[in-house]
Chains A and B, each alone.
Chain A
Amino acid sequence: NAGVMQNPRHLVRRRGQEARLRCSPMKGHSHVYWYRQLPEEGLKFMVYLQKENIIDESGMPKERFSAEFPKEGPSILRIQQVVRGDSAAYFCASSPTGDTEAFFGQGTRLTVV
């Protein structure tokens, strides 16, 4: 049973470009969470999705950030017009239900130059 798969592992974007981060949950998991980790800081919740639904996006910046989890395919975290402050590690986690332990992927490290 493969774990949570994230790609790409590393992503470099110039300021103003778009970044697309992908997450395939563990088999049998329909709940997906995105977290952001800045250097020397803990992980911060961004958004919680189930298939085709955003359940809670209270941790997402109001502008430029969006997330989706379509019926088919991976969950996508999209950052438009990236700025240097978006540079961070973005982690996806999944769980079989909304109130059980979550398992994390290896993360995507976004660098904005």
Chain B
Amino acid sequence: QKEVEQDPGPLSVPEGAIVSLNCTYSNSAFQYFMWYRQYSRKGPELLMYTYSSGNKEDGRFTAQVDKSSKYISLFIRDSQPSDSATYLCAMSPPGTYKYIFGTGTRLKVLA
């Protein structure tokens, strides 16, 4: 079993839809949770950085962490064609710098 599981998609949604992206993990020691967006043949771009459980909102993006279920989510409101990319979740335990990445979910927002 992988430490971090992420549905690879692809996920296709119409413009304006609410998108839900998810990761599950097995290591209860993880405390830091990140979401990165990666456009084709580009580097990962940090979207959200959260610590422990709870919600964090930034513009159209909301990150949720449920440590009891070992489940994290990224919601994108009013999705745009420019949101079409691969979304990577990443996490790490405290006191460490090694991010464990999911394999990424490909999202396509249709105009």
Chain A residues within 8 Å of B, Cβ to Cβ: 4, 6, 31, 33, 35, 40-45, 48, 55-56, 58-59, 91, 95, 98-99, 101-107, 109
Question: A74–B109 Cα gap in the complex (Å)?
Answer: 38
Q: What band does the interface of chain B fall in when counting residues whose beta carbon is under 8 Å from A?
A: 20 to 34
CB-CB under 8 A for A42 and B46, given A48-B98, A95-B97, A109-B41: no
Q: Which residues of B contact A107 (CB under 8 A)?
A: 42-43
Q: Which residues of A contact B100 (CB under 8 A)?
A: 45
Q: How far is the CB of A65 from chain B (nearest CB, A)?
A: 17
Q: How far is the CB of A59 from chain B (nearest CB, A)?
A: 8
Q: Which residues of B contact A6 (CB under 8 A)?
A: 43
Question: A58–B98 Cα gap in the complex (Å)?
Answer: 10
Taking a contact as CB atoms under 8 Å apart, the answer to whether B49 and A105 are in contact is no
Q: Which of B65-111 contact A (CB under 8 A)?
A: 88, 90, 94-104
CB-CB under 8 A for A99 and B46, given A42-B88, A42-B104: no
Question: A112–B47 Cα gap in the complex (Å)?
Answer: 32
Q: Which residues of A contact B6 (CB under 8 A)?
A: 42
Chain B residues within 8 Å of A, Cβ to Cβ: 4, 6, 8, 32, 34, 36, 41-46, 49, 88, 90, 94-104
Q: Which residues of A contact B4 (CB under 8 A)?
A: 42
Q: Which residues of B contact A33 (CB under 8 A)?
A: 97, 99
Taking a contact as CB atoms under 8 Å apart, the answer to whether A43 and B98 are in contact is no
Taking a contact as CB atoms under 8 Å apart, the answer to whether A43 and B42 are in contact is no
Question: A70–B88 Cα gap in the complex (Å)?
Answer: 31
CB-CB under 8 A for A104 and B45, given A42-B88, A99-B94: yes
Taking a contact as CB atoms under 8 Å apart, the answer to whether A40 and B99 are in contact is no
Question: A91–B104 Cα gap in the complex (Å)?
Answer: 16
Contacts A56-B98, A95-B97, A98-B97 aside, 14 further interface pairs with beta carbons under 8 A come to: A40-B103, A42-B6, A42-B103, A44-B101, A55-B97, A91-B44, A99-B95, A99-B96, A101-B49, A102-B46, A102-B97, A104-B36, A104-B43, A107-B42
